[in-house]
Structure 1
Amino acid sequence: MSNPLRITVFGSTGSIGESTLDLISRDPDRFQVVALTAGRNTARLAQQALALRPAIAVTAFEDCLPDLAERLAGTGIAVAAGPEALLEAADRPADWIMSAIIGAAGLEPGLRALRNGGTLALANKESLVCAGPLLMAEAKRYGARILPVDSEHSAVFQALVGESIAEVERVILTASGGAFRDWPLDELAGATLAQASSHPNWDMGQRITIDSASMFNKALEVIETHEYFGIAPEKIEVIVHPESLIHALVGFPDGALMAHVGPADMRHAIGYALNWPDRRALPVERLDLAKIGSLTFRTPDERRYPALRLAREVMAAGGLSGALFNAAKERALDHFIAGTLKFTDMAVLVEQVLTQTAAESGFRGALTLDKVRVADQVARQAVDQIVGRGKVLA
């Protein structure tokens, strides 16, 4: 019997992390958990650690360490906290690393984990949006592999098996349309946090669910497609597909469209990356196409989803635009959650920040991690200043 696959999971208490651990726990002889990291949900992190016995459990927040330490006292499982502890966890040798930390915070642990030369299963789309060239170069430098875990990018990856990327005519990413896909446009400004936090198809965390409603999530995925696959921006399309059963399509010069069809269950994309290049049985629904009956599609209205237009502008600008875009989006979302910004003001605010920072000389030239950090900070500060002054321009 071969040695078990050494596994690290960043973001273990989120929906992606939970689904990953569900698959791992079903076949414990195949896997050895090295490290688990999470945010403030130390109760759940401790439960996971007790069940899977990693060498270390890490919380990203230092004030959460006493609680985690108390819960795992006497177990022999090491505990740690803070950004440096996350990086130290990334340094631990592992064969397969799930990168599922939400937001730009997932970039540096992912970069560090690549140094082990294993497989980085990338659910943190922000890493490619903020620093795609850096991430891909680091993987090449250390002989590591990056496998996509977003359902759309996993679908594209699978549709390309046996095909040449040079022959791709177009990539079509599907979007559910989110919570407000059928709302009258003039009512969107009054959308509440509770309404934006309810997804019609997927069971996800609050932030990504709101990003689905605004389609900022899809905007990030468009940029991610460009960065990961090297597909030209003009070849990337988005279509609203309310059933969320076709996850992406790849078109070829002969007119063929290869579609990936499957249930709205992230365990498929996770399991594909976990078992790649093999396919193994997964505990997901088998679709009954006759019962489903029909699939529907519609063109996304960019008045409803201005984030899609902003994504094209970011790809055209290149450089640090992705880092600025993502940071402004994350901070605008913070303000919406806090009640200091309307739902429709998020895209307006992000565009203001992009326009405001476009001419700053510090954001030109070669892409470096230090510049990404600075761009992230500058964009977040700009959002706070604009909101503080009440100068969000509709």
Structure 2
Amino acid sequence: MKNIAVLGATGSIGTQTMQVIRQQSEEFKLIAVSANTNSHKIIDIIEEFKPLYAVLMDRNAFNEVRKYCSDKRINTEILIGIEGLNTISTLPEVDMVVTSVVGMIGLTPTLKAIEAGKDIALANKETLVAAGKLVMAEAQKHKVRILPVDSEHGAIFQCLQGNDKSSVNKILLTASGGPFRGKRKEELLNVTVDNALKHPRWKMGRKISIDSATLMNKGLEVIEAHWLFDVDYDNIQVIVHPESIIHSMVEYIDGSVIAQLANADMKLPIQYALNYPKRQQCVIKKLDFYDLKSLSFEKPDLDTFKPLKLAYEAGSTGGTMSAILNAANEAAVELFLNKKIGFLEIGNILEECMNKFESKENYVLEDILEIDSKVKEYVSSKVY
């Protein structure tokens, strides 16, 4: 029995993690969960899985869930805020922490979990983007496994199994292209929030959906891949693959390319991460090759989708530049979602912040949190 804590249990990844745990109830026990404001979903999870702890970030949601558990005499302990996240990430009885919260909020509890010796099923991009050097060093120090939950990184992880790292030539990171694939800048001048949220393949949260539309999502994944698999940025290639059947590939020095294919369903990489190194019975619809008409591939348009180009630049610069990029993006996406800036202004804001803020080569957690705050404050202050 593996004891699991899920940070961000009510989001897309968290909900599908619940499905995997539900299907393997004899192998997994849900010890703790967290959510931001979704008290109703947390109550449903408490009723079904009876975790020992639940964390709410929002005060009103915390009060609602705590009252419900008190009235129903449910023994789940209800905690609040970042301290609550840190608590459930370091519980002695927890074996693995699934980090599926969105944003920088996931960094500190993930580091706390690593220091406590917990394996990490990682679905929070910002953890490695903002502090990859620090996180990977801590994981190595504490002999902790960081298992990727992201579809693309989960695919790369599978393609690497059984092969020596020295034989890897290139990582081929696939992208659906998002809702604006093939569009030029002039066609994106009047993009609405609703337009940008309509992803052609995946149902995701609002922030991640906007990142997919700008291709920033893929830029973040490039930086993650660098840290997860210790591959130079020059050897990470993004390929637009609109069918989303090949989830990523690895090219080896002999010219062989190994790909991971499956129907687009996040339950597969979640299941693989939770059960690694074992495979379990299928939780997705299996691929039928007779139904596949074609698989197509395109080069990404780095001029129109500037954030992807900037992510390569930030990663190559190193130090805290990726944290600067990430903070600027979080703030800019929030402004766009609130209809205060246009779609293309997101990329312009990222570039401005990378030019304004100086990268620090060696850093600790406090440096990352400070730069994150300063950049977000700067971006917010520019919009009146």
* Pair in the same fold by TM > 0.5: yes
1:75 corresponding residue in structure 2: 74
Q: Distance in 1 between the 2:198 and 2:368 partners?
A: 32
1:372 CA displacement: 0.2
Residue by residue, what CA displacement relative to the aligned partner does 1:35-88 show, whole Å, maximum 9, x if unpaired?
Answer: 100110111011111111110110122342111112222111110111111111
2:258 corresponding residue in structure 1: 258
Residue pair 2:184, 2:304 contacting (<8 A) in 1 also: no
Structure 1: gaps spanning 5 or more residues: 389-394
1:121 CA displacement: 0.3
1:29 corresponding residue in structure 2: 26
2:173 corresponding residue in structure 1: 173
Q: Distance in 1 between the 2:62 and 2:202 partners?
A: 32
Residue 9 in structure 1 maps to residue 6 in structure 2: yes
- 232-241 or 181-190: bigger deviation: 181-190
1:136 CA displacement: 1.1
Q: Distance in 1 between the 2:224 and 2:250 partners?
A: 15
The aligned amino acid for 1:68 is V
Q: Distance in 2 between the 1:193 and 1:49 partners?
A: 34
Q: Distance in 2 between the 1:300 and 1:5 partners?
A: 41
1:178 CA displacement: 0.5
1:87 corresponding residue in structure 2: 86
The aligned amino acid for 1:321 is M
Residue by residue, what CA displacement relative to the aligned partner does 1:206-225 show, whole Å, maximum 9, x if unpaired?
Answer: 21111111111000000001
> What secondary structure is seen at the aligned counterpart in 1 of 2:375?
helix
1:194 corresponding residue in structure 2: 194
Residue by residue, what CA displacement relative to the aligned partner does 1:99-130 show, whole Å, maximum 9, x if unpaired?
Answer: 10101111111111112323100011110000
Q: 1:377 aligns with which of 370, 373, 380?
A: 373
Residue 39 in structure 1 maps to residue 36 in structure 2: yes
Residue pair 2:156, 2:248 contacting (<8 A) in 1 also: yes
Counterparts of 1:290-305 in structure 2 under 5 Å? Answer: 290-305=290-305
1:144 CA displacement: 1.4
1:392 corresponding residue in structure 2: none
Residue pair 1:267, 1:282 contacting (<8 A) in 2 also: no
**Cα RMSD between the aligned structures?**
1.1
> What secondary structure is seen at the aligned counterpart in 1 of 2:177?
coil
Residue pair 1:123, 1:148 contacting (<8 A) in 2 also: yes
Residue pair 2:318, 2:361 contacting (<8 A) in 1 also: no
Residue pair 2:320, 2:361 contacting (<8 A) in 1 also: no
Residue pair 1:43, 1:71 contacting (<8 A) in 2 also: no
1:306 corresponding residue in structure 2: 306
2:49 corresponding residue in structure 1: 52
Residue pair 2:246, 2:261 contacting (<8 A) in 1 also: yes
Q: Distance in 1 between the 2:126 and 2:377 partners?
A: 19
Q: Distance in 2 between the 1:369 and 1:245 partners?
A: 37
1:350 CA displacement: 0.9
Q: Distance in 2 between the 1:283 and 1:304 partners?
A: 37
The aligned amino acid for 2:249 is L
The aligned amino acid for 1:268 is L
Counterparts of 1:216-295 in structure 2 under 5 Å? Answer: 216-295=216-295
> What secondary structure is seen at the aligned counterpart in 1 of 2:341?
coil
Q: Distance in 2 between the 1:171 and 1:47 partners?
A: 40
C-alpha change, 1:365 and 1:231, in structure 2 (3 Å) is closer
The aligned amino acid for 1:75 is I
Residue pair 1:90, 1:113 contacting (<8 A) in 2 also: yes
Q: Distance in 2 between the 1:253 and 1:100 partners?
A: 34
Residue pair 1:324, 1:354 contacting (<8 A) in 2 also: yes
1:184 CA displacement: 4.3
2:320 corresponding residue in structure 1: 320
Q: Distance in 2 between the 1:91 and 1:235 partners?
A: 36
Residue 346 in structure 1 maps to residue 346 in structure 2: yes
Q: Distance in 1 between the 2:378 and 2:166 partners?
A: 40
> What secondary structure is seen at the aligned counterpart in 2 of 1:250?
strand
1:365 CA displacement: 4.2
- 299-308 or 265-274: bigger deviation: 299-308
Q: When the two structures are superposed, what TM-score results if normalisation uses the length of structure 2?
A: 0.97
1:65 corresponding residue in structure 2: 62
Q: Distance in 2 between the 1:208 and 1:161 partners?
A: 28
Q: Distance in 2 between the 1:182 and 1:312 partners?
A: 21
The aligned amino acid for 1:100 is S
Q: When the two structures are superposed, what TM-score results if normalisation uses the length of structure 1?
A: 0.94
The aligned amino acid for 1:30 is E
> What secondary structure is seen at the aligned counterpart in 2 of 1:282?
coil
Q: Distance in 2 between the 1:325 and 1:161 partners?
A: 32
Q: Distance in 1 between the 2:259 and 2:363 partners?
A: 34
Residue pair 1:226, 1:233 contacting (<8 A) in 2 also: yes
> What secondary structure is seen at the aligned counterpart in 2 of 1:143?
coil
Structure 2: gaps spanning 5 or more residues: none
